[in-house]
Amino acid sequence: MTAPLPDLPVQVISLARATARQAQVAQEFARIGMGYTIFEGIDGAAHQAELLGRTDLAAWHRNMGAPISAGHMGCYASHVELWRQIGAEGPEIVLICEDDVTFTADFPQALAAGLAMAERWDILRFSCIRAKGRLPQARLGPFTLMAYWGPFTGNGCYLIKRAVAARLTERFYPIRRAHDHELNRFFDHDIRLMGLEPFTAPPRDRGESFITGTAMAGAKKFPKYKRLPHYRQKLANYARRLIWLARHGLLSFRRAGG
């Protein structure tokens, strides 16, 4: 049985020049019968000087263990600018997607389940790049609401609440790490970052990216000896996430509606 599509505003972040991606994402939304609006993203290559002025480059190198790219900065700024607009005049909850999103057949059901559990999360992801350290919080039908004490990254498709978008907008500059990595510091921003599994909006994986180039050709890392601060921070963040989750009672399993 197919769940009715929620009446929900949907914003898809896409660069003006990404016409092929926009054609693909149109097919994805048509397949599930859902409408959306294109939010024109900030082109990092066109605004590189401005964005570098809003970046703590030393912190980025320390935190990411890699050089920054124009694509990283543009992606980061696009999400934050959309948050700013949502926080200023948006509806209570918005679905945000990137233009490489795809949907499984049961995405509408997952979306409805996520909205039914809205009191349990501040940001809810339906997509991820990595998700480690799963902590089940609630179940609704075949879907499990998860918190994570390990790395949880990827911004391909997520719900965000207006008040959270407004608050985070004020906290996300200067740029110090990749946008999804900054969100994974939920302990610092005091937000309930959750995922709904199984993930029903995986990103398209065809080796092309405006951030890392074709076949990850633009993904550069510093030598390992220069990445030591990055590794130290990663280890420390495990403890920070666990402490925050424990303080907020999210280390124990909870059933939906319980």
Distance CA 76, CA 26 (A): 23
Distance CA 135, CA 154 (A): 18
Domain annotation covers residue 252:
no
Domain of residue 234: give its range.
10-247
pTM: 0.90
Q: What CATH number is attached to the domain comprising 140?
A: 3.90.550.10
pLDDT in tens, 6-63: 679 999 999 999 999 999 999 999 999 999 999 999 999 999 999 999 999 999 999 9
Domain annotation covers residue 258:
no
Distance CA 63, CA 181 (A): 9
Domain annotation covers residue 255:
no
Domain annotation covers residue 84:
yes
The beta-carbon contacts of 52-55 under 8 Å, at least 24 apart in sequence, are 54/173, 54/174, 54/175, 55/174, 55/175, 55/176
Q: What is the pLDDT of residue 212?
A: 40
How far CA 150 is from CA of 159, 188, 238, in Å, comes to 20, 15, 6
How far CA 201 is from CA of 47, 57, 153, 239, in Å, comes to 29, 32, 14, 29
pLDDT in tens, 206-217: 544 444 444 334
The lowest-confidence range among 125-134, 166-175, 209-218, 240-249 is 209-218
* CA-derived radius of gyration, the chain: 18
Q: What is the pLDDT of residue 227?
A: 79
Domain annotation covers residue 91:
yes
Q: Are 110 and 143 in contact (CB under 8 A)?
A: yes
Distance CA 9, CA 248 (A): 30
> Quick check: 5 pLDDT over 60?
yes
Number of domains in the chain: 1
Domain annotation covers residue 63:
yes
* Four-point Cα dihedral 168, 179, 182, 79, nearest 10: 10
Nearest to 46 by CA among 88, 18, 65, 82: 18
> Quick check: 114 pLDDT over 80?
yes
Domain annotation covers residue 256:
no
Q: Which amino acid is at 52?
A: L
> Quick check: 256 pLDDT over 60?
no
Nearest to 122 by CA among 97, 143, 150, 94: 94
Angle between helices 70-89 and 162-169 (to 10 degrees): 130
Mean of per-residue pLDDT scores for the chain: 90
Domain annotation covers residue 79:
yes
Furthest-apart CA atoms within the chain: distance in Å: 54
